[in-house]
A = this chain, B = another copy of it.
Amino acid sequence: MFFGSDTTAPAHPSVLKAMARANEGYPHSYGADHAMDEIRAQIRDLFEAPDAAVYLVATGTAANALILATLIDPWQAVFCHRSAHIETDECGAPEFYTGGAKLVLIDGEHAKISPDALKNALSTTGQVGVHGVQRGMLSLTNATENGTIYTPAEVAALTKIAHADGLPVHMDGARFANAVVAAGCTPAQMTWKAGVDALSFGGTKNGLIGVEGVIFFDPKHAWEFELRRKRGGHLFSKHRYLAAQMQAYLDGDLWRDMATAANAAAQRLSKGILTIEGASLVHPTQANGVFASWPRIGHRRAYAAGAEYYFWPEGASLEGPDDETLPARLMCSWSTTNDDVDDFLAAIRG
């Protein structure tokens, strides 16, 4: 009953096996090996993007911050949702890597930016010449921090607005696989075909040990990115072990299978919770996270049974009236089983 985070889940056994296989021989360091050539080719195939620049880093924060720094100048603004990971959970990494760019925060239901909200933000930023920060780029999180997704059409509507002002678009895809599975689309449809210029192609939250792909659909950014990655301390000498993880991820579409399992677990959990008296969803369940509210008595029972998850926002107390409803976040992963879900629901019911 571990719903605390998708990052507490173990890695898929195939990933460990790939690591062991990679532990042979003396390939060149720093990604100049055959494994990286293969991955580059596989990712270009998967994304139908034969010219894409493809890199691997080990953390989502590194992927996001390095992409942002590559796409904009220090005096520019990144437009993002107020709840975006780059704003709330990276301790200012975007500001650090960009040399002091500004994040302009956009509000919106269920952690999603609407076209109107984006237009409004664009119209009030960078309009005073040299005095204010300039408009730089748009960053979308998909799946969002609230377990919702943007469809390719929704992405396209936003990138069109950004591109009209000459702004490139980044997608923080820490949970990209979950979004693609939920949308029933291809990776290409969710990204460059919908106007996305660069993607953080998440693996860590979806069954890997610690690897995120970085994809620039326009390869002109490649060399700058490589320098920034090295300078940030994110170029691995024994790069083959990052490559091994990504190979396992790509082989047989393991990335899709794991996201499918995680999303299905979330659906089962979401539906189950709605059968509990007094329960309701805070956000629609579209990817691998369930954001729901139910009476305190159920939380008390779940915690007593050893369940792990967070009140959301954090800080609620188990002490108080039994029937007061308290919101929580429940994250599922590739390894969440039907039994895990059912045991958890049973625990809440008591």
Contacts and interface: CB of A to CB of B under 8 A. Distances in A.
A11 B8 CA distance: 25
Contacts of A183: none
A13 B19 CA distance: 11
Interface string A40-84: 000000000000000001111110011000000111000000000
A132 B236 contact: no
Contact of A130 (B73, B235, B315): B235
Contacts of A103: 102
A27 B5 CA distance: 10
A331 to B, nearest CB: 11
Contacts of A75: 91-92, 96, 227-228, 231
A272 interface: no
Nearest to A2: B26
Contact of A92 (B23, B66, B133): B133
A204 interface: yes
A317 interface: no
Q: Is the interface of A mostly helix, strand, loop or mixed?
A: loop
B231 A74 contact: yes
A17 B205 CA distance: 22
A128 interface: yes
A66 B234 CA distance: 12
B238 A7 contact: yes
A59 B90 contact: no
A227 B90 CA distance: 10
Ranked 10 nearest A-B pairs via Cβ: A95-B100, A62-B233, A2-B26, A7-B237, A61-B233, A91-B230, A8-B26, A91-B231, A7-B29, A10-B23
Given A62-B233, A73-B227, 6 more contacts: A5-B29, A59-B236, A88-B128, A91-B132, A204-B238, A205-B237
22 contacts: A8-B27, A10-B23, A11-B241, A58-B58, A59-B234, A62-B234, A65-B233, A73-B224, A75-B96, A75-B228, A88-B131, A91-B132, A91-B231, A92-B100, A93-B230, A93-B233, A99-B100, A102-B103, A127-B315, A128-B314, A130-B226, A232-B232
Interface of A: 2, 4-5, 7-11, 13, 16, 19-20, 23-30, 57-62, 65-66, 73-75, 88-93, 95-103, 127-128, 130-134, 204-205, 209-210, 224, 226-238, 241, 308, 314-315
